[in-house]
Amino acid sequence: MAPPGITALDVYLRDELIGEVHRPGSGRMTFIYAPNVSDTHDGERLLSVGLPVRAERYPNRAAKPFFEGLLPEGTLRERIARDFHVGYDNGFELLARIGAECAGAVVVVPRGSGAPSEEVSVQWLSEDELHEKLIAAPLDPLGVHDRRVRLSLGGVQDKLVLTKTASDQFGIPLDGAPSTHILKPDQERYADIVANEAFCLRVAACLRLPTARAEVMRLRDLDCLVIERFDRTLISGTRVTRLHQEDFCQALGILPANKYEADGGPSLTTIIEALREFSDQPARSVTDFVNAVVFNFLIGNSDAHGKNFALLHGAPGSCALAPLYDLVCTAVYDVSTDLAMSIGGEVRPEAVGEAAWREFARNADLNPTLLVGTTLRQLAERTVACATAVRGMARTEGWFRPVIDDIVRVCEARATQLLALAG
């Protein structure tokens, strides 16, 4: 637990101390790179493409979006803040308590605490204990009631962040040790959302889109989605190494609360511009992203906002579009159907016609004829074929749920809509 009255947080990238976060006032955060880092890495994009290395301090307006983007959102954040007796808006104090294991390679700890070890430090769970943790997830988000669990992950959905062995045993990483997997249990509010997300991820993989790996696990009476973290890698079977990533709200300096385009969040065009500027494989990253945009439209995912796409960093100055994640058909639920990011200025899926796709292409400096005449047609045909094939696999593997039939119907209807445009 963070000591009282802490005024600064150390920021590590993997095991290297790179800077400090300070709070100049309530709800505010500033960031400054360590002198040795600014001297040797000036201008490099170590932490974020939006925070290149420099000697000068980054003010709140630049620093806060990145560090707030490391924290959970919505009711998940409310419950964690309440558990730690911290104000909901006090991102600094929340990071002091749970920032030791975040998305990407970032580690945020109270000044002087030292970087958590990448050696495995895990409380291994029996099947009964894992089931209890999943059942308790709504009341114990991320499992942080145990004060030795110091991890944070963005998003609003209940989840556990765990370490998994090759023999399929799960455990809770302790004292900031890196995790390897995310477990999302089914929710009462959204029927069979585990099968929904598993199906959409498998269809994306069938299309050879870069996609996070996931599988459905049945634990007693509960379905859960087991997602392999693409920002972690296992070395020698005992050491988990963090790989750095940042979502596009962090990269573009946008607070998580503004992740939707209508609230000032990223647009499709701004993400494509960022990929062209920052990716070391810009053509491939842009193609992958455009394919992802079309795919999300086809599967009826209206919640593909700026935090649901990310940059995966490699060597200093090297990054590319991260594998796709949080792929869910929202069209089968009673939620808004408006697209999180408009296509050619249109947010109503049924109204996204040829003019909207061509406008999107022009705004993004793409070839409109190629997009409408080839990309839309090919992805529409292939997505229906893959959806049908994956539905059969779900039946064979035992995780088929009725929602999958609903998703296939959405795919077929959206594909018909796109094929009509392509002639």
Instruction: Identify whether the C-beta of residue 240 lies closer than 8 Å to the C-beta of residue 122.
Output: no
Closest CA to 325 of 216, 220, 230: 230
Considering only CA atoms, which of 67, 51, 62 is closest in space to residue 9?
67
The continuous run of DSSP H or E covering 160 comes out as: strand 160-164
The answer to whether 104 and 244 are in contact (CB under 8 A) is yes
Residue 120 — φ and ψ, nearest 5°? -65, 120
Pairing of strands 222-228, 181-185: antiparallel
* Tally of CB atoms within 10 A around 186: 21
Residue 219 tokens read as 């634990």
- Cα–Cα distance for residue pair 227/222, rounded to 1 Å: 16
Q: Which residues are marked as active site?
A: 303
> Roughly what angle, to the nearest 10 degrees, separates helices 376-397 and 402-422?
170
The single residue listed with the structure tokens 């593909």 is: 304
Give the E-state strand segments of 199-340 in sequence order.
Answer: 214-219, 222-228, 232-235, 239-242, 245-247, 310-313, 319-321
Q: How far apart are CA 195 and CA 61, in angstroms?
A: 39
Q: Are 219 and 131 in contact (CB under 8 A)?
A: yes
| Residue whose entry in the numeric block shows the structure tokens 């200025």 | 345
Helix spans in 41-147 (H): 60-68, 74-83, 91-98, 127-136
| Short-list 26, 4, 19, CA closest to 108 | 19
Of all residues in the chain, what percent are helix, strand and coil, respectively (each to 5)? Answer: 40, 20, 40
Chain-centroid distance of CA 208 in Å reads 19
- C-alpha to C-alpha distance for 391 and 226, rounded to whole angstroms: 19
**What CA–CA distance (Å, rounded) separates 266 from 257?**
12
- Residue that has been written with the tokens 């999180």 in this structure: 340
